[in-house]
Chains A and B, each alone.
Chain A
Amino acid sequence: MHYYNEEDLARFGEIGKSRPDLFEKFMAWYQACQEDGALSKREKALIGLAVSVVVQCPYCIDAYTQSSLENGSNQEQMTEAIHLASAIRGGASLIHGIQSHNAHDKISM
């Protein structure tokens, strides 16, 4: 028994059974974000992959891994994107160490 099922990704549209107006707005926004623009589809797929890993969404990781490959990225490039996102996440944790230092200094002689 596990909470995530691969097949559920294909059921995403079922969310729109309630408040379809909101789901349609989301889908239009989501799809528009994927198109070539000032950034290429390939760049966007790599950003999507990096964010997916950081937000730890297994559906998104599957989808953006595939999308990155289908936009011509290779595993080395994808891994660099994942490292960057993870490093930012690590750095974001580490910078909070300053909070601790500040707190320490405030109550220490």
Chain B
Amino acid sequence: MQTEPVQIIRRNGKSAFPASPVGFDEKLQANNLELISAKVDTLQVNVGKLCNQACKHCHVDASPTRTEIMSRPVIEACLNALRKYKIPTLDITGGAPELIPDFRYFVTEARKIGAKIIVRHNLTVMFEPNQTDLPEFFAENRVEVISSLPYFLQQQTDAQRGAGVFDKSVEAIKRLNVVGYGVEGSGLILNLVYNPVGAFLPPAQSQIETDFRRELKTRYNLFFNNLFTITNVPVARFLDYLRRSGNEEKYMRKLVGAFNPATVENLMCRNLISIDWTGKLYDCDFNQMLELSVSGDLPRTIFDFDLKQFANRRIATANHCFGCTAGSGSSCGGAVAS
């Protein structure tokens, strides 16, 4: 069954969805697959679009000029859901989540509930005013830190994330290492994220992880736990880039051609609920940016969230979903199939 976007949003006068030679739902059907959710084990909360960076591939369109941030009542509703349904993991993302006034409140309260807390931390925000103690704050709250570092060299990293980002990222990882992040035996987890700096698929996760471990240790004496490979999903700024560079059609053909049925079972949308800065509910952070709401008659906001209604729901899909099913697959936790 074709999922119809609730609202067809547009981007620079064109569809916000990528054009594809084959529809995603059509591809699922051809492989006798359905995308149905399993047990929700993660509340992924996007606390807003404010960021100290403006990366060229950002699917959130985040930047220092954005003003959309999560308010205390929405945070309270997320905490209530965590508490009431004993959802094991809170995954906080943005923008740069640390920049919203209630970020530390959110983390410390979630910690009291006993949830595992993941923060998608961009590293450079550590050098913004009043943020220099972030490594200590993360450590005190046993936060799992996941940070993007698209490559172990300056050229590629700065090309995607902005001039000067690489040097600051190296310094930030050093500071995280000092408090124990990424250091064996500390129990403090620092995972890095590789994503391609352009219109191509990521390499095998284990292979590029080995490269990162060797190069970051040799060149800068840096340590981390795991490296996740993430495919660039063709939405927002990355879709703009594909169109600007004349790569949309070729990239979509590549994603469709690399469709791997084995990825579907482990797609992240099957186990999480995504919440936007206003409290609206989505199947994933990409759907959130496309305003592709949860399908059916499900509650639409965290204020009337009911966990049992979200198990076995049909995931809302569109052509951007090919980004998560290509090759070894892609999720916020990296590859999903070998």
Q: Do A and B come from one complex?
A: yes
Q: Is the CB of A69 within 8 A of B196?
A: yes
If over half of B's interface residues share one DSSP class (helix, strand or loop), that class is named, otherwise mixed; here it is: loop
Chain A hits for B208, CB < 8 A: 72
Residues of B within 8 A of A74 (CB): 151, 153, 156
In the assembled complex, 10 residue pairs joining A and B whose CB atoms fall closer than 8 Å, in A order, are A42-B203, A66-B200, A69-B198, A70-B196, A70-B202, A71-B203, A74-B151, A74-B156, A75-B155, A76-B153
Contacts of B207 in A (CB 8 A): 40, 42, 71-72
Chain A positions within 8 Å of B, measured between CB atoms, are 10, 40-42, 66, 69-72, 74-76
Residues of chain B contacted by A40 (CB below 8 angstroms): 207
Residues from chain B with a CB closer than 8 A to the CB of A69 are 196, 198, 200
Instruction: A43 to B159: give the CA distance in the assembly, Å.
Output: 25
Contact of A72 among B153, B155, B198, B203 (CB under 8 A): B203
Shortest CB distance A84–B (Å): 20
Q: 0/1 per residue, B200-221, Cβ < 8 Å to A?
A: 1111100110010000000000
The CA-CA distance from A72 to B196 in the complex, in Å, is 9
Q: How many residues of B contact A (CB 8 A)?
A: 15
Shortest A70–chain B CB gap in Å is 5
Chain A CB within 10 A, most for which of B153, B156, B202, B203: B203
Q: Given contacts A70-B203, A71-B207, A74-B153, list 7 more A-B pairs with CB under 8 A.
A: A41-B204, A42-B203, A42-B207, A70-B201, A72-B208, A74-B156, A75-B155
Roughly how many angstroms separate A41 CA and B200 CA in the complex, as a whole number?
16
Interface residues of B in 182-241 (CB under 8 A from A): 196, 198, 200-204, 207-208, 211
Q: What residues of A have a CB within 8 angstroms of the CB of B202 in the complex?
A: 70
Partner of A70, one of B200, B211, B253: B200
State how many angstroms separate the Cβ of A7 from the closest Cβ of chain B: 10
Give Cα A72–Cα B206 distance, bound, in whole angstroms.
Answer: 11
Q: B residues within 8 A CB of A76? A: 153
Chain A residue contacts of B211, Cβ below 8 A: 72
How far is it, in angstroms, between the C-alpha of A74 and the C-alpha of B208 when the chains are bound? 11
Determine which residue in A41, A70, A72, A76 has the highest number of CB atoms from chain B within 10 A of its CB, and name it.
A72
Cα distance A41–B206 when bound, in Å? 13
A11 to B42, CA, bound (A): 45
The chain A residue with its CB closest to the CB of B194 is A72
- List, in ascending order, chain B residues with CB within 8 A of A41's CB: 204
Contacts of B156 in A (CB 8 A): 74
Residues in A whose Cβ lies below 8 Å from that of B155: 75
What is the chain A residue whose CB lies nearest that of B327?
A70
Top 3 A-B pairs, shortest CB-CB distance: A72-B203, A72-B208, A69-B200
* Chain B window 132-158, contacts with chain A (Cβ cutoff 8 Å), 1 for yes, 0 for no: 000000000000000000010101100
Give Cα distance in the complex from A41 to B204, angstroms. 10
Q: How far is the CB of A29 from chain B (nearest CB, A)?
A: 21
Q: How far is the CB of B71 from chain A (nearest CB, A)?
A: 42
State how many angstroms separate the Cβ of B173 from the closest Cβ of chain A. Answer: 19
Given the complex of chains A and B, what is the CA–CA distance between A66 and B201 in angstroms? 9
Cα distance A40–B208 when bound, in Å?
A: 13
Residues of B118-176 at the interface with A, using a CB-CB cut-off of 8 Å, are 151, 153, 155-156
